[in-house]
Structure formats: structure tokens, C-alpha cells
Chain A
Amino acid sequence: MREQPTPIHHLARSWLDTITRTLPATLLLAAACGILPGCRLLVGTTVVAVGAVGLVGYGVYKTGEAAVTGVGSAVSGGAKGVNSVVFCDGEFKATCDGAVDDVWLASASTLKANGFRLVSGNRDALSGHLEAAAWDEEKIAVKLDDAGQGQTTFRMRIGTKGNLKKSETLYNLIVANITRRGGA
């Protein structure tokens, strides 16, 4: 006996037709998402990227693709020519122009000239250290390492917890005093 189509059958057929038409696109979308399990698909014109960042387990997205001209656009690429410091766990770290010996001499003379008492210090061509004390016996420790290309990695810790403001002040004074041998 032939079954009579009912409204439910018509609805189901229409649904099936729709799915059949959209299946290839659905499969593509599903495959793309399946590359990164659990990826979040963000819809909307302002979001550009989903997932594929070359980092396993990470996703990325962006909003507001406005062109950014920024400030000081003449400066670009790397630390040279810019003030660049990292302050982490109380330690101030920067890379400055000048050999270890140049920076060591500038550090020692600057600390002494500004009333700090030099406690100990030594250096060679590749590294050096200095220890000084403030009037209240707060300790200042400076470590220097050759960074190549005529630059030195400068590390400073003031007291036990460190102090970015004081470190920045002293560092700027030291850098102003660096005399590079060879006339650079």
C-alpha cells in the first residue's frame, strides 16, 4: 500500500533538500574547524583569524583591523635607538651600547660621583660586576655581560626587591657617562 504524503513528509523533504545543497560547504567548514579541536569560530567582519597560528593548543583572533601608524614611526626593529628595559622579579635589565669595560667604568664612576660607596667590583672583557651601597646601606648590584656587536647587557638590582624608578634614574646617569673607546 502506498503511503500518502503528509505535511510532515513535505517538511522533511524540504529540510533534506536544504541539507543536501549546503552539505559541501558544511563539510568544508567542519573540516577547517577540525584542524584545531575545540576551536572557536567567531563570526563578524571585524574578526579575521581563527586558530591557525602555528602554535599547538593556541588560537588567535583580531578585532578592529585599523591601520596603525603609531608614534615615532621612524624608529623600527629591535632595541637599538630606543629605551628598552625589562623589569622582572626586582631586576632591571637593559642592553646598552659599549663594551663591558666601557660600561663598567661608567657605572663605577657614576655611582661614586653620586655618593654611593663602592663595595666591590671586577670585570674582564666578557663580564663584570659591581656592588655599591647607598647612605642607608641599601645595596646596589650591577651585573654586566657582553651582548656582542659592541653592546653590553646591563642588570641592576636595588635592595632585595628592586626598584624600577631608582634603577631607571641610575641607568640613565650611567649611560650618559659611557665613553666608548675607539671614538664611537
Chain B
Amino acid sequence: MRLTGLTILAPLVFSAFLMGCRTDEEPTAAGPIEGVTNPSVEVLFDNTRALPVTGTFGWGISLLRVDPALNVSLSEVEERLHQSLLSALPGEGFVFTNTSPDYLVGFAVLAGASLDEAELNRSYGDLLAFPARTGAAPALNYSAGVLIVDIVESAHSHLLWRGAIKADIDMQLPTDRKQARCDGAIRELLRHYPSPPATGK
């Protein structure tokens, strides 16, 4: 009889220890993106709630930091990324609006440059209230070819999700293919929103 009691109790204890700990499947490897090689993705996400899958969005900051030797028009980069986001975000349930959006979508682009987390957060001014870091864990640093996309809850200036894709960028890519590159990078990042993609997504 004692054995029967333990048999029932053990799985319950086992399950209780694992309460609140979800196991996700391994994200699939990044698909090919034109003009981009060696991509890796880093995602910071609000762990306390389900991320939104519907609502309106408007533009947050555009931070563009580019080595002048690359001779890149920053406004053209911004235009391409806005276009990519306008195409991709409706697929995640978001609708663009110019007035009082639920969420602000901002981005940072680094090419031949670096940026630390604190500077990125400061760039938002009052639009982002980022929590102070605790403990010994280092702040995130971004360098080389990086695209960072932030989703911020407007009402509370609260960062919900920050996805960064870093990669080698082919700067010789013809201009007419650069939009496809932006589209591919945004698509790859948003594969991880609101949660990592399951195998085969």
C-alpha cells in the first residue's frame, strides 16, 4: 500500500517542481536572407505576461549608426525598414496608425559601428522606461552589422520585446535588392515574436 501512495505522490512532486517552466521546441535555423550571411538572433522579452498579438502600432525611434566610409543614406535605410515593418507587422496582428498607437515599434541599425544597451535606451527619452539592471549579468552590447527591433507599450513606456539580428552584410548588394534584404531580416526577427518559432514554422 505504501508503494501505491508513493507511486501517486512522486509524479505530483515532480510536476510541482516544474510548475511555470515551459519547454519550447528548438527554433529552426535562420533561412537564407539575400545579402546577409552568418545571422544570429538575440531576443529580450517581457517574461511576466503574454506578448500582444493584436493592437495598433506607430513609429518609435529610428537609430541609425553607420560607418561613413560605407556611404549609406540613412533616410533610405529608414524608409526601407519602415516598408518592411509595415508589410510584416500586420501578419503578427498589428495595424499601423498615426494617432495614439497601442505600441511603438522602433529600430536601430548598426553597420560598422557599435552600441550598448544603455545608449539605445537613452535614445528613447521619455518614450521608454527601462528597468535598472540588477546582479552581475552584463548589459547587452551590439556591434558590427546589427538590426534591432523594439516593441514598446505606449501607455507605460514599457519594453515588451527587443529582437536583434546580427550578421555579415554584403555592402555591394545592388540597390534594388536592398528592400528584399530588409524584408528578409525583419521576417527572420519576427519569426521569434511572440515566442521562438517551433520546428517547421
Query: Which residues from chain A sit less than 8 Å from chain B, CB to CB?
Result: 3, 9, 12-13, 15-16, 19, 26-27, 29-30, 33-34, 36-47, 51-79, 81-89, 164-165, 167-168
Contacts and interface: CB of A to CB of B under 8 A. Distances in A.
Q: Which of B79, B124, B168 has the most CB of A within 10 A?
A: B168
Contact of A57 (B18, B48, B67, B144): B48
A77 B145 CA distance: 13
A24 B138 CA distance: 30
Given A41-B24, A63-B196, A71-B112, A58 B78 contact: no
16 contacts: A12-B4, A36-B47, A39-B21, A42-B26, A47-B26, A53-B137, A54-B135, A62-B43, A70-B145, A72-B67, A83-B68, A84-B64, A86-B64, A87-B63, A87-B64, A88-B61
Given A60-B44, A66-B38, A68-B144, A84 B25 contact: no
Contacts of A66: 38-40
Interface in B117-170: 123-125, 127, 131, 133-140, 143-146, 166-169
Interface of B: 1, 3-4, 6-7, 10-11, 14, 17-18, 20-27, 29-30, 38-48, 60-70, 72-75, 78-79, 106, 111-114, 123-125, 127, 131, 133-140, 143-146, 166-169, 171, 192, 195-196
B47 A54 contact: no
Q: Which of B39, B66, B113, B138 has the most CB of A within 10 A?
A: B113
Contacts of A84: 63-66, 113
Contacts of A73: 112, 144
A72 B69 contact: yes
Contacts of B138: 54
Contact of B48 (A30, A38, A52): A38
Contacts of B169: 70-71
Top 10 A-B residue pairs of the complex, sorted by shortest distance between their CB atoms: A72-B112, A70-B144, A44-B26, A54-B137, A30-B17, A64-B40, A72-B67, A165-B75, A33-B21, A12-B7
A26 B138 CA distance: 28
A33 to B, nearest CB: 4
Contacts of A77: 114
B177 to A, nearest CB: 16
A95 to B, nearest CB: 11
Given A39-B21, A47-B196, 4 more contacts: A60-B44, A71-B70, A86-B64, A168-B73
Contacts of B27: 42, 44, 46-47, 63
A65 B111 CA distance: 19
Given A15-B10, A60-B43, A73-B112, A68 B166 contact: yes
A82 B43 contact: no
Contact of B136 (A27, A54, A76): A54
B30 A63 contact: yes
